[in-house]
Amino acid sequence: MSRAGASSMLLGVVSLLVSLPQVAEAQSWRSVTMSRQVSGEEEIDVRIRFGAGRLTIQPGEPGTLYRMRLRYDEEAFEPVAEYEDGRLDLGVDGTRHKFRWKKDDSQEMDLSLARGVPMNLDLEFGAVRAEIDLGGLQITGLELQTGASESRIDVSAPNPIRMSEASMEVGAADFHARNLGNLNTETLEVDAGVGNVVLDFRGEWQGNADVSVDMGLGALELRFPEGLGVRLIKDTFLTSLDSEGLVKRGDSFYSLDWESAQYRVTVEVDAAFGSIDVVWVH
């Protein structure tokens, strides 16, 4: 596993330890809503940071650059909503070194982003339950990092901008990414530590793609739509492979329609321990 994967695992473990119940102290929960209107932006860099709790991100209403609702402990955190020189920073920031977490309380962040503004997205979250829909957003670049999370990522509608690269770094997590064909990226890198990872490549493909998956310990499921040309290359150790619908030629596995397919994806998997399952979906 790469150093980045090991770092994600360490971050996940730290996040889990941090989120365990601590000595009870009173918490002062506060809810705020912040927003900003679109004002002629041609492209922006969006940086989102959220440590623990429940996170929801979805496309927003026309004319609104972002709308964010936060529920947080105001004695330990403060909201972040800064916009300057084409850079937007959103999330929560700790005001104390000691992070106090009460088991029956939850921190929440609900965020919507503008559909019509090209965005370079940098998302980082820790011990969260995340529901993220990037469908229809104009994404010029994507960097996503998770810690010990339960994350559901969906690209429910096509990205109208062709990206050169996207990356997803996953710690100790249950991670599902759907409709990755809609992401419209030339390359996708997935670095996973420990857990269960599902990558679903359905969607409206607009070009070929190269995907690399670096997996530590766990189960990897690759879901491909019928009609997509698939080439699978694996460099694995003590990892089983269910290669349904693929035939081996040399050091690679190919779908039967590889040569005739309109669009093709090459997936290279480097895995240590676990399993790889290939599933064909409509």
Distance CA 1, CA 3 (A): 7
- Which pTM was predicted? 0.86
DSSP 23: S
Please say if the pLDDT value at position 27 is more than 80: no
User: Which is more confidently placed, 24 or 276?
Assistant: 276
The answer to whether the CB of 132 falls within 8 A of the CB of 158 is no
Please say if the pLDDT value at position 91 is more than 60: yes
Please say if the pLDDT value at position 3 is more than 50: no
- Per-residue confidence band for 14, with pLDDT thresholds at 50, 70 and 90: very low
Length of the chain: 282
* SS3 per-residue string spanning 190-216: EEEEEEEEEEECCCCCCCCEEEEEEEE
Q: What is the full DSSP assignment across 250-264?
A: TTEEEETTTTT-SSE
pLDDT in tens, 44-58: 999 999 999 999 999
Please say if the pLDDT value at position 21 is more than 70: no
Distance CA 147, CA 156 (A): 24
Is residue 236 exposed (0-12), middle (13-18) or buried (19+ Cβ within 10 Å)? Answer: middle
- Per-residue confidence band for 141, with pLDDT thresholds at 50, 70 and 90: very high
pLDDT in tens, 152-178: 999 999 999 999 999 999 998 899 999
Q: Which residue has the tokens 């700790």?
A: 94
The token duo for 273 is 């321990």
